[in-house]
Amino acid sequence: MIITSDQIRAELASMWPELKFILLSDPAWLLPTQDQLQAELDACTRHPLYYENLYACEEHAVDLMMSVRRGRAEMAQRGEIPTSQWLNRPLGFVAGTRFNGRDMNHFANVCRTRAGWLMIEPQTHAIWTPRASADHIYFLFM
């Protein structure tokens, strides 16, 4: 199932009307099921490192997004993904001031699945459903 960047922008505007900075790298995306997303997250290494101001939440969020993209590219290279599915997942990283109801300046990951939007804590891969009242996001890169 494919979703366009225009559809993603419309959904984001509905969910987070205050979201001002949206960078989408592709015109279309391949929606995963939640199980497919979980398998791709499980294949990514969870880095135990954390060094404030050196390797913190933002590096973990970028690394998680890139690990999933790299994994899919490697699968495509091995012929495990048909060319009709050579699209990135709508998985990106966000910056905000509240996550899952907790006020903090933080980076996390976000993904649009077939069932809807999910937030992902990049260091633990914990998943929750975003809510405008519980997640204040001001920047998204996908």
In tens, the pLDDT along 72-99 reads 999 999 999 999 999 999 999 999 999 9
Q: What are phi and psi of 43, to 5 degrees?
A: -75, -15
pLDDT, one tens digit per residue, over 6-30 is 999 999 999 999 899 999 999 999 9
pLDDT score of 48: 67
Average pLDDT over residues 113-123: 96
Looking at residue 28, what is its pLDDT? 98
Closest CA to 102 of 61, 126, 135: 135
Whole-angstrom distance, CA of residue 91 vs CA of residue 94: 10
Q: What would the pLDDT profile of 32-73 be if each residue is shown by its tens digit?
A: 999 999 999 999 876 667 767 766 789 999 999 999 999 999
Which pLDDT belongs to residue 45? 72
Instruction: State the pTM of this model.
Output: 0.93
pLDDT score of 2? 97
